[in-house]
Amino acid sequence: MIREYRTIQEIVSPLMVINNVEGVTYDELAELELPDGEVRQCKVLEVDGDSAVVQLFESAAGINLADSKVRFLGRPLELAVSGDMLGRVFSGMGKPIDGGPEVLAESHNDINGLPMNPAARDYPNEFIQTGISTIDGLNTLVRGQKLPIFSGSGLPHAQLAAQIARQAKVLGSETDNFAVVFAAIGITFEESEYFVQEFNRTGAIDRSVIFTNLADDPAVERIATPRMALTAAEYLAFEKDMHVLVILTDITNYAEALREVSAARKEVPGRRGYPGYLYTDLATMYERAGRRIGKDGSITMIPILTMPEDDKTHPIPDLTGYITEGQIILSRDLYRKSIMPPVDVLPSLSRLKDKGIGDGKTREDHADTMNQLFAAYSRGKDAKELMTILGESALTPDDILHAKFADEFEQRYVSQGYEDNRSIEETLSLGWELLSILPRGELKRIRSAYLEKYMPETDS
Amino acid sequence: MSGRIVKVAGPLVVADGLSDANIADVVRVGNQNLIGEILTMVGDSASIQVYEETSGLGPGASVITTGVPLSVELGPGLLEGIFDGIQRPLSEIRKMTGSTIARGVDVPALDKSIIWDFTATASVGDEVTGGNVIGTVDETTAVVHRIMIPPGISGVIDFIQSGSFTVEEIICKVKDSNGEVHDVSMMQKWPVRVGRPYNKKFTPSAPLSSGQRIIDTLFPLAKGGTAAVPGPFGSGKTVIQHQLAKWADVDIVVYIGCGERGNEMTDVLMEFPELSDPRTGEPLMKRTVLIANTSDMPVAAREASIYTGITIAEYFRDMGYDVAVIADSTSRWAEALREMSGRLEEMPGEEGYPAYLSSRLAQFYERAGTIEVLGGERIGSLTAIGAVSPPGGDIAEPVSQATMRIVKVFWGLDASLAYARHFPAINWLNSYTLYLDTLKPWFDGNFGTDFLVNRATTMSLLQEEAELQEIVRLVGVDSLSAPDRLTLETAKMIREDFLQQNAYVELDSYTSYEKQATLLSLILYYNDLCKDALSKGVEDVQQLFNIDARERIGRAKTVPPEQYEDEYHSIALEMESQIGAIVKGDDDL
């Protein structure tokens, strides 16, 4: 039975305390009805005896304590899911906002999902070709991976994410069962519109589900938005056998909304005022990516976050990096040098690359050349640094070659623009071409057999 | 008698009417029978941490105490298994609820329907006490499970039978001095928060060989010792933990995935059955027990998972085995502790962590050790290795600091090494081991005194390199003297040709102690030859660096184990002749 209460004790946005309640349970969804009939959603954060602490998903403006009613619905926040969601646009709370009809639900799913049994996971090992050398060659993405983009204000993360969404494909497989789920979390209209237009331009829009919570939408609604998107993605991946790419942008806004609620509850803050459970909270989102044994579909996740002050040790990128399977980091220095996409190769990482590359997936020499490129670029950058202090004469001949290699590497390997779609063969050959700058004795990380087989002839 | 919930706040539930319950009792909460544990009592009201998601619970729901503390079931059936933080078998849960973990699933930890072949080794009339072995079960092809008298029982065997039984059937009866008869089955229960008893503890005396060159040679860990691996994300903590789980020369590995990625557990589950133990040739999975509380699983069970894991490890230690317990990551465990502490509204200590953080950590690591088991029949060891995930990679934070005060070995991971793809990214300048003195007799006895001398030479070369690098950064490499340039070159060889080790290359993933010792002395021999050449008047040091044998040294680490002795010997001869030629050539001029 649904009871209505008019016993709102206090409202300190975004929290509300309701007294004299009965039968209320933790995490339950509730509706607040204003005198004029407007309904706002909220959920139970704590029940203590006969009083409940409830968090509003919308603004508290206009609520009158005496005249408003609260209904507890006896169920958690759910999303109506269906295959018809493809091609539709929803609000951050899962309501259609594209003028179309309500989705005819095939199922109502709890947006919090359930933890995935590690014994039921299938290890992601299918190579995804994104056509971007720094990703395919050095930080390989595989199906079912969660690989965030760590960006900074003013860096072109949207272009990179759109390029991945546009070009990503699994070699030798049909592409008719893919879908994109896009969640705009507190970003501006312009940035959100950029993605929508990109999806329109490439025709991907018919295979997309879009959730938008824009910068001027209620901040607390953002806590639900990524979970809405993931619930839709789980349905498409594991019920409809689709390969879903989820793009969540911007996680920083999400974490700030979480901090707002935590602060309102007067919880003991962790680092920089973020709640102590930020790690757990982010993990329950990110861990929903993956593959399951016995299911054909998969969820590959690309969360985007802007690092405040480009600081990788800020709690949001830091905790994200501990959960996700690597990270793509964008560099302001490279961006200033007009190197596009400005992927900072050395601190970027894909943890699952080793299972997705090699003979039968990409090519047998992939792992060795990858390690060699990393090592050589790292040494080249050190050499260049030394050169700026001491001049070229202070370097050994090998270091001078490494410095030259680092320049060429940035200009040719990293900088490819947003429209160039390179095949993995092209990426690997380019890597060999660059390595041929260096003396053979320095290429210790490549097996001799591959050196014989793949090293291009040089005329130096 | 059952209590009633009055408050629900996340994983913390407060219930009234539990006057007959004890602190630390396991309770069943709500009509879904969620599992919880009592943390504090005020009057008859208990604060309970619930090991499962609490959504849908509200005031009025019932809470029933089981009257026993959180315990694990110990017996045949543990190996090759994957359990959650409170020892529920995840593969059984998968059969019941599919790919996700639903709430309130009640599955016994050990499968009670499996029939095991028990062979009695004791006989009627034998006098036994807790810890004595009365028989064996061949649990897997790699491990013999020794069935022991549970602690606390002693007397004379009244009855014992070999044959095929489930873990619950009575296989033995012991009559104590009061004439009371105790039934013994193959399964025991033990509360996880209490260390299992033993006779006495020793100082560890043998190293734990891990096949990882930087660990075994530079910063060895003793069997029965404790180690911590702190590092920022992406520095390779998990790979090191996996490498230790794979190659450590122990009999049993308990791997605790505590608040980490689900795919990492899947990786172990899929890879370990395929890999074989270099000592027994059997699949590694057959000696492994996995405890998984991945980061999306309920946070309260994360706190318990560490204890569940170490109790299982202690049980195998009591059989006389060498056991390693690997916890990835203790920081997530500490965060779970912090979250519960916050919900209990305790006064926070540093960075919100509870004031008892360091004492809890110390209690955990102190359960490691080399011991004489109860009953005195055997010696067992338990080695504890914990990963630490410091925020931002900065170890000036409570969990890292509290851990460093306890552990004896510290393998500090370095992001800049990881960026240069120098793996394992253990920083040789700030890592340490305190076991060198206790292990000296072992090293001297097995490899001769050269081993530790070479180690000391290596460490000082690396230290000198760091100092010389400072100078190079200011004035360039040309200003260095020839011997200093040789030091830089040898240190570079040590870094690249010895310390770097690729976990994904078959021949490089594991290096035996003997091969490590020979490889290191080969590199140091090069250093000696060059030094000698310089003293004989060779002026162009670059000429010494460019000899052909150098490329062979660079590839020496991947020489197959059966060929390395011949190959290293031949490299040494080649070096001698090539350097000799340079010395002569100079003399000719």
pLDDT tens for each residue of B444-498:
999 999 999 999 999 999 999 999 999 988 888 888 899 999 999 999 999 999 9
Model pLDDT, residue B280: 84
pLDDT (mean) for B196-216 = 95
CB atoms within 10 A of CB B199: 14
Model pLDDT, residue B210: 94
**Nearest chain B alpha carbon to A319:** B391
Whole-number percent of chain B with pLDDT over 90: 79
Beta carbons of B55 and A26 less than 8 Å apart: yes
User: Which of B263, B272, B338, B394 should we substitute to test contact with A (largest number of A Cβ atoms within 10 Å)?
Assistant: B263
Model pLDDT, residue A174: 64
Contacts of A378 in chain B (CB under 8 A): 419-421
Interface residue B80 vs chain A (CB under 8 A)? no
Q: DSSP for B185-239?
A: ES-EEEETTSPPP-SEEE---SB---S-HIIIIIS--BTT-EEEEE--TTSSHHH
Question: Which residues are paired to B16 by β-bridges?
Answer: B4
pLDDT bucket at B391, cuts 50 / 70 / 90:
confident
pLDDT (mean) for B323-335 = 94
pLDDT bucket at B540, cuts 50 / 70 / 90:
confident
Q: Is the pLDDT of residue A312 over 60?
A: yes
Bridge-based pairing of strands A88-91 and A208-214 is parallel
Structure tokens at B492: 């570079």
A136-169 residue pLDDT tens: 999 999 999 999 999 999 999 999 999 999 998 8
The span from the first CA to the last CA of chain A, in angstroms, equals 84
Select from A26, A46, A378 the Cβ nearest to the Cβ of B56.
A26
Select from A123, A277, A378 the Cβ nearest to the Cβ of B270.
A123
Model pLDDT, residue B588: 47
Model pLDDT, residue A59: 86
Q: Token match 């502790």: residue?
A: B337
Interface residue B95 vs chain A (CB under 8 A)? no
Q: At what angle do helices B357-366 and B330-343 cross, to 10 degrees?
A: 140
Model pLDDT, residue B586: 56
pLDDT (mean) for B388-411 = 93
CA distance A19 to chain B (A): 13
Beta carbons of A48 and B9 less than 8 Å apart: yes
Distance CA A169, CA A150 (A): 22
User: Which of B52, B99, B470 should we substitute to test contact with A (largest number of A Cβ atoms within 10 Å)?
Assistant: B99
Identify the DSSP state of B559. S
pLDDT bucket at A175, cuts 50 / 70 / 90:
low
Distance CA B454, CA B460 (A): 10
Phi, psi of B506, rounded to the nearest 5 degrees: -55, -50
Among residues 475-534 of chain B, which lie with CB inside 8 Å of chain A?
Answer: 475-478, 496-497, 502, 504
Distance CA B75, CA B166 (A): 10
Beta carbons of A47 and B554 less than 8 Å apart: no
Q: Is the pLDDT of residue A24 over 50?
A: yes
Interface residue B413 vs chain A (CB under 8 A)? no
Select from A27, A117, A271 the Cβ nearest to the Cβ of B56.
A27
Model pLDDT, residue B281: 87
CA distance A283 to chain B (A): 6
CA distance A265 to chain B (A): 11
pLDDT (mean) for A180-184 = 95
CA distances for B216 relative to A336, A394, A437, B503, angstroms? 45, 37, 37, 15
Q: Token match 């002050």: residue?
A: A309
Model pLDDT, residue A286: 96
User: Which of A17, A322, A445 should we substitute to test contact with B (largest number of B Cβ atoms within 10 Å)?
Assistant: A322
Beta carbons of A349 and B101 less than 8 Å apart: no
What is the C-alpha R_g of chain A?
A: 25
Select from B257, B392, B497 the Cβ nearest to the Cβ of A318.
B392
**Nearest chain A alpha carbon to B295:** A283
Please say whether the beta carbons of A265 and A45 come within 8 A.
Answer: yes
Q: Is the pLDDT of residue B310 over 50?
A: yes
Please state, rounded to an integer, the average pLDDT across all residues of chain B: 93
Contacts of B420 in chain A (CB under 8 A): 346, 374-375, 378-379
Beta carbons of A294 and B554 less than 8 Å apart: no
Identify the DSSP state of A413. I
Amino acid identity, residue B542?
A: Q
The stretches of A277-423 forming alpha helices (DSSP H) are 278-286, 315-323, 332-336, 353-356, 366-390, 397-408
Q: Is the pLDDT of residue A313 over 80?
A: yes
Model pLDDT, residue B551: 87
* Closest residue by Cα to residue B344 from B55, B2, B3, B11: B11
Q: Is the pLDDT of residue B587 over 60?
A: no
All residues at 6 or more sequence positions from A101 whose CB lies less than 8 Å from its CB, including other chains:
none
B163-184 residue pLDDT tens: 999 999 999 999 999 999 999 9
**Nearest chain A alpha carbon to B81:** A119
B52-108 residue pLDDT tens: 889 889 999 999 999 999 999 999 999 999 999 999 999 999 999 999 998 888 899
User: How many CB pairs below 8 A link A and B?
Assistant: 220
Model pLDDT, residue A460: 46
B263-308 residue pLDDT tens: 989 988 888 898 888 788 899 999 999 999 999 998 889 999 999 9
